């Protein structure tokens, strides 16, 4: 298909420097976002089988298309490529679909609009830097972030820039959280690469970044409110083992995408580890905020005192854990038929909380945790079960289904290629027709039987699959290629699969 515009040498050089500086991940969440049915024109709504208008498809981040009925466990084995679109860089941005148009970003620095029927390019927009997370649609506009922390708003039909804004002034800011659109506002988490700053400069005084979630007016880009994960501004906290000044408290990056419960008027956020002391109660936490004001309602901290950077060995208060929350919160029917909100942590544990109070309902150890382990990028929920992938990089990962009421693991399928499963999970269909979709570092994308976890179909895309999968109107879409942090194989393709390739 039509190749994308090749990124500039400066852009590629910038990306390479980031990769070399970081080495291993403090977190790999793709964070991410959602759109409600009323926010999309009636010609294909976010609640129909034809659309998937944000990272999690709906504002609650379910990653579930219950209306998809064309692809079932009975015929999924007949999936073949319908078309393949090539870019000039890895494709780890989950595609979204609105009104017959597919939108996605690439590490070549471009955001693309592609016809879902033909795979032909409609337009491309030059972000100036890599776009690794999903876009969100609302009010005729497309919203997406880039690796340097800019949030872009473009016309969804033409790709014309409406506005762009850096989500934080800190020089290490990045936007890995996918934006979420709801009723005229955009919500996005703010993260950073400051954990690795001392690898670029031995004299770097660490650390000053504070994670946050921000609400913007969708039309103007004006900031409506901001909630800082660490309320206090950083200041000198003494010296490390080498006599260098430690600055803090810092950290609490929000790598993940936020989720909304509009009926309750709440936004739910998951946060990352802390960089420097003193310890904060909001890091490695699940937090509920007021949707209109951003004021805290409650917070639940899973792992207190997780203070970590790449210079950890020199900080006397370093925990050496680095077990961020990287998944967007999702909702499922829990104990007593009452809804619970669930998030997954790099520790390998999933936590279910009462969304009204933040009280723990259950917690389950799904698999091995660690700096590149545990539940990384995203969970999925069909309202009855929670589905998640275990990374365990560089060892064997797995895909699991958990009962929403008890948290019990119903099935767990190890990766046949002994590779990690760190990307977001998706679900399609209802009842016995449910399919679970997941990618692998090995390059395979797979369909699992929702009832048993049996692999019913797989395809080698040629590159690591780190982004999410969208299934809509009888077609499954997935990007291929993920080399950030030297985790997987490169590729430059976006695949569309349909029954018999038709």
Write down the pLDDT at residue 39: 36
CA 15 to chain centre: 19
Per-residue pLDDT of the chain (502 residues; tens, 9 = 90+): 433 443 333 443 334 333 333 333 333 333 333 333 333 333 434 556 789 999 999 999 999 999 999 999 999 999 999 999 999 999 999 999 999 999 999 999 999 999 999 999 999 999 999 988 999 999 999 999 999 999 999 999 999 999 999 999 999 999 999 999 999 999 999 999 999 998 888 889 999 999 999 999 999 999 999 999 999 999 999 999 999 999 999 999 999 999 999 999 999 999 999 999 999 999 999 999 999 999 999 999 999 999 999 999 999 999 999 999 999 999 999 999 999 999 999 999 999 999 999 999 999 999 999 999 999 998 999 999 999 999 999 999 999 999 999 999 999 999 999 999 999 999 999 999 999 999 999 999 999 999 999 999 999 999 999 999 999 999 999 999 999 888 899 999 999 999 999 9
Contacting residues for 263 by C-beta, under 8 A, at least 6 apart:
none
Supply 271's token pair: 């946060």
Radius of gyration (C-alpha) of the chain in whole angstroms: 20
Q: Which residue reads 């039309």 in tokens?
A: 219
Question: Can you list the domains of the chain with their CATH numbers?
Answer: 9-499 (2.140.10.10)
d(CA 357, CA 363): 16
Q: Are 474 and 483 in contact (CB under 8 A)?
A: no
Neighbours of 312 (CB within 10 A): 16
Q: What end-to-end distance do the CA atoms of the chain give, in Å?
A: 17
Q: Are 482 and 424 in contact (CB under 8 A)?
A: no
* 3-class SS of residue 432: helix
Total-model pTM: 0.91
Residue 43 is predicted with a pLDDT of 40
């Amino acid at each position: 298909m039509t190749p994308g515009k090749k990124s500039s040498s400066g852009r590629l050089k910038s990306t390479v420097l980031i990769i070399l500086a970081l080495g291993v991940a403090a977190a790999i969440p793709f964070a991410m976002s959602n759109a409600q049915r009323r926010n999309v024109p009636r010609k294909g709504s976010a609640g129909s089988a034809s659309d998937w208008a944000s990272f999690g498809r709906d504002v609650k981040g379910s990653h579930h298309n219950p209306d998809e009925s064309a692809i079932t466990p009975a015929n999924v084995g007949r999936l073949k490529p319908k078309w393949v679109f090539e870019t000039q860089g890895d494709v780890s941005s989950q595609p979204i679909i609105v009104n017959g148009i597919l939108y996605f970003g690439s590490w070549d620095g471009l955001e693309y609009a592609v016809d879902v029927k033909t795979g032909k390019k409609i337009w491309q927009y030059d972000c100036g830097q890599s776009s690794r997370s999903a876009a969100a649609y609302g009010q005729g506009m497309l919203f997406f972030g880039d690796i340097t922390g800019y949030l872009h708003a473009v016309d969804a039909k033409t790709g014309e820039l409406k506005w762009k804004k850096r989500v934080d002034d800190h020089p290490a800011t990045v936007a890995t959280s996918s934006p979420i659109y709801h009723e005229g506002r955009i919500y996005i988490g703010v993260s950073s690469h400051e954990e690795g700053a001392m690898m670029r400069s031995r004299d770097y005084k660490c650390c000053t970044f504070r994670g946050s979630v921000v609400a913007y007016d969708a039309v103007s880009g004006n900031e409506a409110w901001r909630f800082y994960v660490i309320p206090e501004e950083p200041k000198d906290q003494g010296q490390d083992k080498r006599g260098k000044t430690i600055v803090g408290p810092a950290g609490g990056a929000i790598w993940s995408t936020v989720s909304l419960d509009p009926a309750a008027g709440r936004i739910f956020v998951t946060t990352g580890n802390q960089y420097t002391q003193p310890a904060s109660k909001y890091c490695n936490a699940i937090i509920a905020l007021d949707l209109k004001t951003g004021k805290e309602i409650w917070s639940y901290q899973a792992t207190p005192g997780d203070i970590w950077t790449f210079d950890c060995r020199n900080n006397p208060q370093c925990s050496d854990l680095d077990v961020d929350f990287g998944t967007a919160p999702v909702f499922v029917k829990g104990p007593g038929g009452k809804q619970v909100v669930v998030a997954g942590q790099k520790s390998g544990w999933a936590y279910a909380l009462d969304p009204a109070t933040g009280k723990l309902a259950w917690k389950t150890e799904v698999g091995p945790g660690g700096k590149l382990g545990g539940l990384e990028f995203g969970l999925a929920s069909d309202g009855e079960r929670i589905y998640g992938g275990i990374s365990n990089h560089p060892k064997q990962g797995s895909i699991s289904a958990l009962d929403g009421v008890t948290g019990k693991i119903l099935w767990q399928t190890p990766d046949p290629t002994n590779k990690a499963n760190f990307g977001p999970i998706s679900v399609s269909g209802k009842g016995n027709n449910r399919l679970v979709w997941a990618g692998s570092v090995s390059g395979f994308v797979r369909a699992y039987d929702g009832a048993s976890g049996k692999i019913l179909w797989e395809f080698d895309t040629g590159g690591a699959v780190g982004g999410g999968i969208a299934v809509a109107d009888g077609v499954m879409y997935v990007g291929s290629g993920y080399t950030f942090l030297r985790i997987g194989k490169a590729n430059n393709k976006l695949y569309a699969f349909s029954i018999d390739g038709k």
